[in-house]
A and B are shown apart, each in its own frame.
Chain A
Amino acid sequence: MNYLNTSTAHAKAYNLNAGATALTLWTPSDAGNDATNLYRNKNAYYFLPSENESYKAAYYDPNKAGGAGYWLYATGSNAIPTAVASGTAQGTAVYGGGTVVAPAAVDASGGLSPYLTMGQSGNVYAWQENALDGVNDVSSALRAIRGGYWGNSELVLRSSFHSSADPSNPNDFLLGFRVASVPEPSSVAASLLGVGVLMARRRRR
């Protein structure tokens, strides 16, 4: 994660020292220290998503019928996803074991969430940035994991389930991860449908 930041001229997210098995907490004397989250440097651009961030991306639907709210699965639905070995059909997820004996490719890991992320239910668990207790003040604390893996039952895919894993074990073959980033003002402007930009271009002609 730090490489993504430092290679693009941003502050590194995590205080990692070569050879260490755990990160070092940021301290008040460090630039970018955030007293509410001693794991993540607030000047970083790329970071491991926290459980709240992952949860929102997976389950929140601002356009849910009856008002914004959350779904039980990261497929934009409370219906149990159809188990598949791989694919992109809506309402499907890679889970269930049986003939599903390995993770699918990340771009074929089931249907999309309302925010258009893929594979947040099933395929591989996702490491969360935060400790299981939500207090990021012990570097070696067990970290939360979410989403379930290809061999789980649908119960583990639910928003109501999370578990933990030891961050000092890099060889947990059920765990993957995602990357989150902060939107720059320029990307916000771009999200403005590009219309303002298009208008400005026209006016300069």
Chain B
Amino acid sequence: MGVSTQPPAFRLKAGQDYPSNDADLRAWFPDDAACLDYLEWLRWPDGFVCPQCKMPGRWRVADGRFWCAGCRRRMSVTAGTIFHRTRTPLTIWFEAAWCATSAHADTFGSGGNTFTIGFVPIGNAGNANDTVNGAGTNYGAVPYNFNMSTYAISQDQLAKASNSRGISLGGSAWVGEPAIGECDVVSGGGVCELSEHEHGAREGV
């Protein structure tokens, strides 16, 4: 079987060449026909070429397979892949593959100081600024794709990173609690109190 050209990864753009988030995934691939269209593009980004006779022309037949204009063979875009003759809907395959590859976690440290940070992809590079909700200055335009940590960094992640550098932060690092500064003033009820200045600044007055 001939090996098709894969679209070079460096040319691909989230939101344009592949889904950038879960909502994209559902919108792009509502049914198996949409999945087959996408697989066809993946497999033959420069147009169909028969893997047997190498001729470029083909007709699509009713069951979603192709009829080669050169050798008249019938073939499927999934032939030679793990999707071939699968009874599982392609939409399910796609969703499973998406779940396995979109969000990811990076690992840092070693031994008892090993920790991970989970990320989600922020695609749709080249979006415009928010001109509706912004107060004065507009924000939000980012001309490139990037990843954002799913959560704020936690105390235990910060403690393990610090330990790895040979620095002890002291105190207890609560698993899951956000990494924030220490409280200067604690009320009788154990609640951290804001100074008037802090309260004013944080309420924007």
Contacts and interface: CB of A to CB of B under 8 A. Distances in A.
A21 interface: no
Interface stretch (B15-23, B53-61, B66-74): B15-23
B181 A169 contact: yes
A114 B141 CA distance: 16
A57 to B, nearest CB: 4
A27 interface: no
B139 A51 contact: yes
Contact of B204 (A59, A151, A161): A161
A94 to B, nearest CB: 10
Contacts of B82: 198-199, 201-202
A55 B139 contact: yes
Contacts of B12: 188-189, 192
A28 interface: no
Interface residues of A, number: 88
B112 to A, nearest CB: 15
A183 B23 contact: no
Interface residues of B, number: 89
Contact of B180 (A175, A178, A182, A194): A175
Interface string B1-35: 10100110110101101111111100100000000
A143 to B, nearest CB: 13
A108 B178 CA distance: 11
Given A177-B153, A189-B9, A203-B80, A106 B176 contact: yes
B130 A190 contact: no
Contacts of A62: 15, 20-21, 23-24, 123-124, 127
A155 interface: yes
B145 interface: yes
Interface string A32-61: 000000000000000001011111110111
Contacts of A182: 144, 146-147
A131 interface: no
Interface in A145-196: 148-149, 151-153, 155-156, 158-161, 163-165, 169-183, 185-196
B88 interface: no
Interface in A83-141: 101-103, 105-109, 114-119, 123-126, 134
A72 B134 CA distance: 9
Given A3-B165, A62-B23, A62-B127, A123 B139 contact: no
A116 B203 contact: no
Interface in A56-75: 56-57, 59-63, 68-72
Contacts of A176: 152-153, 178-180
Contacts of A118: 150-151
A183 B121 contact: yes
B152 to A, nearest CB: 4
A171 B182 contact: yes
A191 B101 contact: yes
Contacts of A153: 203
Given A59-B133, A106-B176, A188-B14, 6 more contacts: A57-B120, A152-B203, A174-B198, A185-B9, A192-B7, A192-B12
23 contacts: A3-B108, A4-B161, A62-B123, A107-B151, A115-B122, A116-B150, A118-B150, A119-B152, A123-B178, A134-B137, A155-B204, A158-B133, A163-B202, A163-B204, A177-B179, A178-B151, A180-B148, A189-B9, A191-B19, A191-B102, A192-B12, A202-B82, A203-B1
Q: 4 closest Cβ contacts across the A-B interface?
A: A105-B176, A189-B9, A106-B151, A171-B181
